[in-house]
Amino acid sequence: MCVAGVLGTGSALPEKVITNADLEKLVETSDQWIKDRTGIRERRQAAPNETTSSLSVKAARLALERAGIKATDLDLIICSTISPDMPLPSTAALIQRELGAHGCCAFDLAAACSGFLFGMTVAEQFIRTGASTRVLVIGAELLSRYLDYKDRATCVIFGDGVAAAVFGRVEPPSGILAHELHTEGQYADHLFIPAGGTAMPASCQTVEQGSHFIKMRGNELFKVAVRNLEDVSRKVLEKAGLTTNDIDLFIPHQANQRITEAVRERLGLSSEKVYSNIARIGNTSSASIPICLDECAQTGRLKKGDLVLMSAFGAGVTWGAVLMRW
């Protein structure tokens, strides 16, 4: 049986930094209020000429270089995003064109903050069955394009960023050991963008009403997120016959530092085993886990043989976890 693992990672962040002090000038908030409730100090904002696909290409090229392969070696490209360049065609198709990865399959996947883990799991299935040998998975978001800078519940949280990973066959014990994915649509209206689709097509009225901005009920989501992240993390460990004591590194979705701390405590993990960059990057939805993964890979925080647990919770609502031996 083929085992899928990471061959190379890469990330791309916009240069512009939006600090809490910057937001104090736009909305009724304060640096202390934001830090106390989210743990965020700053986040990135894409330049007008940057797109989800253009940043994705930068991250993908780094991942391909570090994996030691060419774009033409790819069998599949999966772009996990809820902020595509346009409704049609897929952002993955635009990335494929710019990379020159002619002939491979490419499609988008929308699972919000859980998107990269969903993409990893799809990649693992293709590789394990032999349908593909090298798969590029990208988590990419330019959420600043969907923010109402009068709504402090959302504009202080979300930022822009992209990261990519090349998956391929690896030798055991390395590779993806277990995964678990879930969706529960009954919470769909807790985090959503009302307009822009077939239910509410774009119009002058939808623009005037701010219906193209992210709407969130954060208090309602908090408890649901903590409970499900703990549960799904324990399930993947159980599938692999391991326990929290075996974990070397826990990379949670960077949604809110209070959520991270609550999940860490429930799992009984020490702070040293948890990676967090939310203070610097903010919440980049599907890009947050792969950005963390790339930072850990490039700084030596990840070592061969380390057991890595990744879990995420996002709009849909979706949640999931992946357990991997580096």
Give backbone dihedrals phi and psi of 219, rounded to 5 degrees, phi first. -65, -40
Give the pair of three-digit tokens for residue 51.
Answer: 């797109």
Cβ–Cβ under 8 Å, residues 200 and 211: yes
What is the distance between the alpha carbons of residues 322 and 123, in angstroms, rounded to a whole number? Answer: 12
Within 10 Å of residue 160's Cβ, how many Cβ atoms? 29
What is the distance between the alpha carbons of residues 81 and 52, in angstroms, rounded to a whole number? Answer: 8
Q: Is residue 104 flagged as an active site residue? A: no
Q: Is residue 190 flagged as an active site residue? A: no
Q: Which of 225, 242, 239 is nearest to 311 (CA)?
A: 225
Torsion of CA 258, 262, 263, 266, to 10 degrees: 170
Verify cis geometry, omega within 30 degrees of 0, for the bond prior to 290.
no
Up-side HSE of residue 103: CA atoms within 13 Å toward CB?
6
Q: Is residue 204 flagged as an active site residue? A: no
Q: Which amino acid is at 160?
A: D
Catalytic residue among 113, 155, 292, 296: 113
Catalytic residue among 20, 104, 253, 296: 253
- Which residues are tagged catalytic? 113, 253, 283
